[in-house]
Structure 1
Amino acid sequence: MANSKFEYVKQFEQPDNLLPNTWIVVRIDGRGFTKFANKYAFEKPNDKRALELMNAAARAVMGEVQDITVAYGVSDEYSFVFHKTCSLFERRASKLVSTIVSTFTAYYVHYWSTYFTDTPLSAPLPSFDGRAVCYPTVQNLRDYMSWRQVDCHINNLYNTTHWALIQLGGMDGTEAEMTLKGTYAADKNEILFSKFSINYNNEPEMYKKGSVVFRDYELVEPGTHNTSIDADHLAEPVQQSKTQTENDRKRRAKARIVVEHLDIIKDDFWNRRPWLLSNKPGRVPKEP
């Protein structure tokens, strides 16, 4: 690029590199989604169409950005996890966040008509914001993911009970809020069962556990890998030949990207899927 007297403005650009050797989580949230949900009359307490639309957009993002190892979504938010050895965009926060936010938003709008067949979008259109956070250890990362899933359970139990009191119990919003003030999980379960014959355990798993998106390889037997320990000791990408790197790329491309509603707090989820922490693709299941 030719030099000019205006080039001095580049000096105002500041570095925004993320810490090396850390897990990166890019978390996106819907902007003004309470009003957005009301505008399009989302069903309460959960709108299956809206959640499946979020999941479809997340799957598409993972398909485009192979460096994402796992993602977790609930309500109008999604968290995308990048391995600690990822060097995508030279670990620059602005590029990483803008790529995820823009790609997710584009697919959300693209898939809207698939899930809301009779409700065309109109301005103001849906949009998302995002942030990137670094977590130094596997335990930090897992605690973050557990935090999001615990929040999913707490919020969904509250919302399920709150809307049951309104929709089935004839209360208004204030009355329902006051009824639930100071209650514990057991109290809410009792209200649902005794007043409305609703067993919370029978609610859809997507509502109770949220959605986990990952590449699907063959499960391994628990105890056969020490992936967490190995990942914490890994400071930089393992040096591979071009052939090995290309083979990994092909295996990632062949793997199905699935959306599951699983417990990600317990060890079993991670132990049986070591590729989530190792950044090394597993064995692609054979076609039935």
Structure 2
Amino acid sequence: MANSQYEYVKQFEQPDRLLPNTWIVIRIDGRGFTKFANKYRFEKPNDRRALELMNAAAKAVMTELPDITIAYGVSDEYSFVFHKTCSLFDRRSSKLVSTVVSTFTAYYVHFWPTYFPNSPLSPPLPSFDGRAVCYPSVENLLDYMSWRQVDCHINNLYNTTFWALIQQGGIGATEAEERLKGTLASDKNEILFSEFGINYNNEPEIYKKGSVVFRDYELVEPGTHNPTVEADSLAKPVQQSKSQAEKDKKRRSKARIVVEHVDIIKPDFWERRPWLLSNKPGKIPKEP
């Protein structure tokens, strides 16, 4: 293309590449979702339909972007993890974030009628924003994932108690907030059980633990792999042959993407699924 007098504007474009050899987490959040949830009368404290819709959109994103190794979602937020050896978009922050956010939003709108068939969307339509954060070690990444799941538990226990006080206890929001101010987890559990007969331990796992999305391969025996050490030993991206890269791509495309509501804080989850940290596809489970 010939140069023109206007081409100087390209000088304003600044590089926005993310740090190499780091784990990339793209975390998206719903924009103005409190008003959005009220508009469509989401059930309190949790709306199973809304959570399943988020999960469906997350699975679709992982299907389109096989470089994502694992995702974790709670409420109106989702975190998508790219392996440290990923070179997608040359690790450009703006392109990576915009791709994840736009793909997720598109599928959220696409799947909406499936989960809310009697509530057609109208402007303002649902939208999400996102950010990219780099984590230099596996320990940092696992601590991030643990933080999000702990946050899920803390918020859900509070919300479950808060809405029990309002919906079953018949008090107002301000009074419920005052009642819960300064309470510990044990206090909230006692309120739920003694006043409303709710055993928090029996609440659905999706509410207490959030949703974990990943490609499903055969589980390995605990202790046979140390995925944390193996992943941290990768000082730089491993150069694969073209045939090996194609083989891995096919294995990823054949793997079933699952949504589970499990503990990701304990090391057992990661030890039994070493492919999540190694970026090497496992064995496809045999059909039952």
TM interval, short-chain normalised = over 0.9
The sequence identity of aligned pairs, in percent, is: 82
Per the alignment, residue 30 of structure 1 pairs with 30
CA–CA separation in structure 2 for the residues paired with 1:194 and 1:227: 44
The whole-number CA distance in structure 2 between the counterparts of 1:278 and 1:175 is 50
Q: Name the structure 1 match of 2:140.
A: 140
Contact 1:85 1:235 in 2 (8 A): no
Q: How many residues align?
A: 288
SS where residue 73 of structure 1 aligns? strand
What residue is the counterpart of 2:254 in the other structure? 254
Q: State how 1:46-195 maps to structure 2 within 5 Å.
A: 46-195=46-195
C-alpha distance in 2 between matches for 1:235 and 1:134: 15
User: Match of 2:196?
Assistant: 196
Q: Which residue of 2 aligns with 1:233?
A: 233
Q: Secondary structure at the match of 2:28?
A: strand
Q: Deviations over 1:83-124 (max 9, x none)?
A: 001000000000000000000000000000000010000000
TM-score, with length taken from structure 2: 0.99
Displacement after TM superposition at 1:235 (Å): 2.1
In structure 2, how many angstroms separate the alpha carbons of the residues matched to 1:237 and 1:136? 14
8 Å contact from structure 2 (residues 72, 210) kept in 1:
yes
How far apart, in 2, do the equivalents of 1:193 and 1:90 lie?
53
Offset from partner CA, 1:10-52 (integer Å, 9 cap, x none) = 0000110100010000000000000000000000000000000
Check whether the contact 2:21–2:237 (CA below 8 A) recurs between aligned residues. no
Task: Quote the residue 1:265 is aligned against.
Answer: 265
- String of CA shifts for 1:179-213, please: whole Å, max 9, x gaps: 00010000000000000000000000000000000
**1:58 maps to amino acid:** A
Q: For 1:263 and 1:29, how far apart are their aligned partners in 2?
A: 22
* Aligned counterparts of 1:219 and 1:246: Cα–Cα separation in 2: 23
Q: Give the letter aligned to residue 28 of structure 1.
A: I
Preserved CA contact (<8 Å) 1:105 1:128 = yes
Task: Indicate the residue corresponding to 2:2 in structure 1.
Answer: 2
Q: Which amino acid is the alignment partner of residue 141 of structure 1?
A: L
Unaligned runs of 5+ in 1: none
Q: Shift of residue 230 of structure 1?
A: 1.4
For residues 244 and 41 of structure 2, the distance between their equivalents in structure 1, rounded to whole angstroms, comes to 50
Give the drift of 1:246: 1.1
Structure 2 counterpart of 1:255, which letter? A
- Structure 2 match to 1:42: 42
- Per-residue CA deviation, residues 122-164 of structure 1 (Å, 9 max, x unaligned), is 0000000000000000000000000000000000000000000
Distance 2:196 2:104 in 1: 38
Gaps of 5+ in 2: none
What secondary structure sits across from 1:105 in the alignment?
A: helix
Tell me the residue number matched to 1:277.
277
Residues 23, 83 of structure 2: 8 Å contact kept? yes
Inter-partner Cα distance in structure 2 for 1:206 and 1:41: 20
Following the alignment from structure 1 to structure 2, what is the Cα–Cα distance between the partners of residues 12 and 141?
A: 33
Q: Give the letter aligned to residue 37 of structure 2.
A: A
**2:14 is the counterpart of 1:14:** yes
